[in-house]
Structure 1
Amino acid sequence: MRSLFVLEKREEKVVENIVFMAIFVHYLSILLITTVFSVVSFLLHRANRLRRLRLPPGNLGLPFLGETLQLISAYKTENPEPFVDKRVKRYGSIFTTHIFGEPTVFSADPETNRFILQNEGKLFECSYPGSISNLLGKHSLLLMKGNLHKRMHALTMSFANSSIIKDQLLVDIDRLIRLNLDSWPDRVFLMEEAKKITFELTVKQLLSFDPGEWSENLRKQYVLVIEGFFTIPLPLFSTTYRRAIKARRKVAEELSKIVSERREGYERGERKSDMLGALIGEWDEQFSNEEIVDFLVALLVAGYETTSTIMTLAVKFLTQTPLALAQLKEEHEEIRVKKSKSEALEWSDYKSMTFTQCVINETLRVANIISGVFRRTMTDVNIKGYTIPKDWKVFASFRAVHLDHDHFKDARTFNPWRWQNIPGTSCSGNFYTPFGGGPRLCPGYELARVEISIFLHHLATQFSWVPAEEDKLVFFPTTRTQKRYPINVQRRY
């Protein structure tokens, strides 16, 4: 009897388990059906909404993720162009996608890009991922809007125009570049050395500090800040972003000390003709320390990251194009032969570097350090027969235009001679926007050209070099070489 009772209990348990599994499968089926129905409904609703709004054609990809993974995957290779090429071929030069968490209208059309740039503050306003906004600070030039942006943009340009470079900055640019190159061993990571140079030059321009332990420690913190630009802006989930926030705090603390010291000096009658001096005492409104620090943080990033990358890639492209390298060396030897070994370059020397400017133009066009700009619509915008709704993201792609064979012959080949005044090789400025345009045109574009030119001069006249190992370009999260472009160098004298 006891055995029979145990058996009956076991049978009851089995039946209970079967019933439970049946109920579980039933509800799981309902959940799956509901989920599928919801996703299908979402996709159909979204498609109908897109047609109703007359948005540019395109594909928003998966819910929530969109096409972000495809874009990142493409830009982590040496050839990200197929991401845009496939969509332009299918949808046209203006298409709709979904990247970095938002539906976005992507423009590979030069006329549309100019329209976006010129209507800054009217139809469009700047909009960047939260990670960049948080790390730069709410008072950075990149995020300023309206009249304050116009005034601060003008101030920045006043410290980087041709006359200021000629009369005040050129001597320091020449001296600091020489100082850095004099310390080179037989093997260097060129991208790392270029970043040291541009950071030191920017610190000198903004704060009047010569290179030293303080500036190098600050630069190391900047490296960590920049690494956090294209991460999830949630410290709990991203160690890179958490490290960047910590580094940004250290940078702000160091800059705050300098600002406070300079304020005290200003009250004692001490004056310095640099950017910080203008912000503290020569500007017609009083800025807080926090506002000044945010402003300086963004300018240091701008002067440090982009210019150093152009320096490195110009050398890389020249090394891969021996005829161009030979012509560049010839141009700089003609300048150097007229001077003593230690004699500094003058403004007339810079202005005579005509082929060097062709090399810089072509490096900017091929490398596209600034791939494009994000903007957000301030109202419904009608363009090219489409309507972009208010509060939508748009991306004006400079890279897509610069590498379009319809605008540049053999567009994906490095050819500095295309910038010379030879029939059939000249390039229209309407398609060339490496420094952006409109009210947010990069205020330091002329200064960047001078720094790159002087660097190439001293490199070409003092050294011969060969790549130490093969290195590849990648374009995400920023344009760079995978191995920091190591080269073996030999001094020529």
Structure 2
Amino acid sequence: MSSFTSLLFSCAAIAAFLILLRRWRYRRLRLPPGSLGLPFIGETLQLISAYKSDNPEPFMDRRLNRYGLVFTTHVFGEPTVFSAEPEMNRFVLANEGKLFECSYPGSISNLLGKHSLLLMKGNLHKKMHSLTMSFANSWIIKDHLLVDVDRLIRLNLDSWSDRVLLMEEAKKITFELTVKQLMSFDPDEWTENLRKEYVLVIEGFFTLPFPLFSPTYRRAIKARTKVAEALTLVVRERRKGSESDGNRKKDMLGALLASGEQFSDEEIVDFMLALLVAGYETTSTIMTLAVKFLTETPLALAQLKEEHDQIRSKSKTGAPLEWSDYKSMIFTQCVVNETLRMANIIGGIFRRATTDININGYTIPKGWKVFASFRAVHLNPNHFKDARSFNPWRWQNNSEATIPVNVYTPFGGGPRLCPGYELARVVLSVFLHRFITIFSWVPAEEDRLVFFPTTRTQKRYPIIVKRREESSPCI
């Protein structure tokens, strides 16, 4: 017993010494103001509970009001500096691969896989990022993706009647579009089963990465295994097909198999799994919030409806959208810009300091994480008048040209700029065109959609829809 007590005492003494040493070093370095919270846990529980509530803003708002635009906290097991300062965010983005490296919470990293684009570094990341952008640029969209986007959106809307859970339907649309882009699969039972497993994977992103203590994370790990197994079978079948007939489909999987890089099945599966996340969760959020914001802003909805009715009047009934139709959606782009600003398709990015960094009079210690919050900048009234109000007219007359590039960053920036940024804008524009010209709608009930929908606790934004040919508009 005495030896055990001595060992316990020694461990406690060593831990206390390390804590004191850490505090002494941090005091010397002049950290940004803030609090590290409880030992080990830090302020993770406050962040997660805010994220899963109806309004996650107070986590940032309280600390910004108390400490300023840059503050220290401790989340997901690591000390982290949060930044809502545009110049500091630009500095972080510009020094990717130099002073900072990509780093995300363990829950996200484990579920995405070590070969995901989000976690790649160096030359491999540059090569794969370029490849991904080449499959979602304006030329590719104009050449053949627009046809698939329009067709799949119409296919989904054709099945709508009466009460619709808009967020769920938007997620089905974006998942099917992404599967089509990655693997050339049209919607069927297989894709729907894959999507259901995917939902469980995404639920595990913002949880503590300990299966023993988190049933949500445990379910996410099991679902991730099932998704990986399903994608692996597809990759192996495509390998056999490409070897036997020499034909290559015009999708991302075909490009990976023909790249000459000799990627393993695991590498390709991790890569595609992460792209499915990017296409599924983010775009569906802005689609749902665009409808919510427009419903609450009748003047914007009326102007948007007029624009799309004019486009519709110039084409035959049932005709697919042309690239020229998309380019004529002038006010639509104002709505898209404003929705992206408020919905924040990329709320922020995590990076890790590779050395002690002095900035704005503070020091970020080597090994610490930095979270550059784009969302906090977009919602700051110092940058946008009435920042938390939906106002698409603020973007008229090309007024966005006067906004500093580091203030409006809905798709991130630097070497890790979201490779699907052009496609996301097109998908939202086409969805709005079809939705507005086909349906009139009203909210189904008093059901306030959370400002930033989360996976498990989101309101699904039910609406009552009627086809415009069948009745007068509800709105």
TM over 0.5: yes
TM-score, normalised to structure 1's length? Answer: 0.88
Mapped partners of 1:264, 1:152: distance in 2:
23
Counting only pairs closer than 5 Å after superposition, residues 367-406 of structure 1 correspond to structure 2 as 367-406=343-382
Superposed, which structure 2 residues align to 1:451-470 within 5 Å?
451-470=427-446
Mark the CA change 1:241 to 1:296 in structure 2 (over 3 Å): closer, same or farther: same
Structure 1 residues 263 and 449, CA gap change in structure 2 (3 angstroms): same
In structure 1, what is the equivalent of residue 473 of structure 2? none
Unmatched 5+ residue regions in structure 1?
1-26
> Could you tell me which residue of structure 2 aligns to residue 435 of structure 1?
411
Shift of 1:39: 10
* Equivalent in the alignment of 1:165: 141
Contact preservation (8 Å) 2:348, 2:375: yes
CA distance 1:256–1:40, change in 2 (3 Å) = closer
Q: Show the counterpart of 1:279.
A: 256
Counterpart residue number, 1:294? 270
Shift of 1:390: 0.8
> Is 2:116 the partner of 1:140?
yes
* 8 Å CA contact retained: 1:96, 1:105: yes
Q: Is the 8 A contact 2:76 2:208 kept in 1?
A: no
Q: Percent of counterpart pairs with the same letter? A: 77
Q: How does 1:2-151 map to 2 (within 5 A)?
A: 47-151=23-127
Aligned positions, number: 461
Please state how far the C-alpha of 1:73 moved relative to its aligned partner. Answer: 3.4
Per-residue CA deviations over 1:130-179 (Å, capped at 9, x if unaligned) read 11111111111011111000000000000000000000111111111111
- Residue deviations 1:286-318 (CA, integer Å, cap 9, x gap): 101111111110111111111011100100111
* TM-fit CA distance, 1:481: 7.3
Q: Tell me the distance in 2 between the aligned counterparts of 1:447 and 1:112.
A: 28
Structure 2 distance, partners of 1:343, 1:424, is 33
The 3 A distance-change label for structure 1 pair 424 and 457 is: closer
How far does the alpha carbon of each residue in 1:435-479 deviate from its partner, in whole angstroms, 9 at most, with x for none? 110000000000011011000000000000011123334478837
Mapped to 1, the partners of 2:219 and 2:228 lie a distance apart of 14
Q: Which residue of 1 aligns with 2:207?
A: 231
Quote the offset at 1:47 in angstroms.
Answer: 4.7
Asked if the contact 1:473/1:480 (under 8 Å) is kept, the reply is no
Residue 250 of structure 1 deviates from its aligned partner by 1.2
Q: Does 1:206 align with 2:182?
A: yes
Q: CA deviation at 1:79?
A: 3.7
- The DSSP-based 3-state class of the residue aligned with 1:211 is coil
Gaps of 5+ in 2: 470-475
Task: State whether residues 418 and 425 of structure 1, in contact with CA within 8 Å, keep that contact through their aligned partners in structure 2.
Answer: no
Cα RMSD of the aligned pairs, angstroms, is: 2.5
Give 1 or 2 for the bigger CA radius of gyration: 1
Query: How many angstroms does 1:91 deviate by?
Result: 2.3
Aligned residue for 2:98, secondary structure, equals: coil
In the superposition, the TM-score normalised over structure 2's length comes to: 0.92
* 8 A contact 1:230–1:477 mirrored in 2: no
Name the CA shift for 1:78/1:361 in 2 (closer, same or farther; >3 Å).
farther
Contact 1:194 1:308 in 2 (8 A): yes
Q: Does 1:323 align with 2:336?
A: no
Q: Does 1:471 align with 2:447?
A: yes
CA distance in 2, matches of 1:426, 1:187: 42
Does the C-alpha gap of structure 1 residues 38 and 400 become closer, same or farther in structure 2, counting only changes over 3 Å?
farther
